[in-house]
Amino acid sequence: MAALLCAADGSAVAVVTRGQTPGGQTPAAPAQSAPPGNAVAGRKTYIKVGCNSCHGNEGQGAAPTGPRIAPNPMPFAALSRYVREPRANMPPYTAKVLSDQDLADIYAFLRAQPGPAKVDSLLPPT
């Protein structure tokens, strides 16, 4: 699996995500696979380092710059590896730029986002 994160300078990377459900959602990673994080602090860091410029303010994605990365982000270990050593145009977010705790907080923020509304809930009653 892979994801797209965006640099503070606005550069973007398109990365294919495997393992998605038919609705395009990536299955949720088990909570025990991620270190403890603070979703409130994660939101602030997510905005501060510019993730929102490609992925939207809630991780919902922003075509064409970045895919949806919330509410079901890839497993934390995979996200961490990709953020630290991206394979495409995204610059690396080294520990000097984004600490391990910052990354755990961002992960908690992404996991805390509500999923998209179900189509049936948007339709008028029949």
Mind listing the domains of the chain with CATH numbers? Answer: 1-114 (1.10.760.10)
Would the pLDDT of 30 be above 60?
A: no
Q: What is the mean pLDDT of the chain?
A: 78
What span, in angstroms and rounded, lies between the C-alpha atoms of 90 and 5? 7
Is 0.85 surpassed by the pTM of this model?
Answer: no
- 58: nearest Cα among 112, 118, 124: 112
- Max Cα separation, the chain? 56
Q: In the block, which residue shows the tokens 């075509």?
A: 63
Read off the pLDDT of residues 68-84 as tens digits, 9 standing for 90 and up.
Answer: 899 999 999 999 998 99
CA–CA separation, 88 vs 67, rounded Å? 14
d(CA 45, CA 8): 11
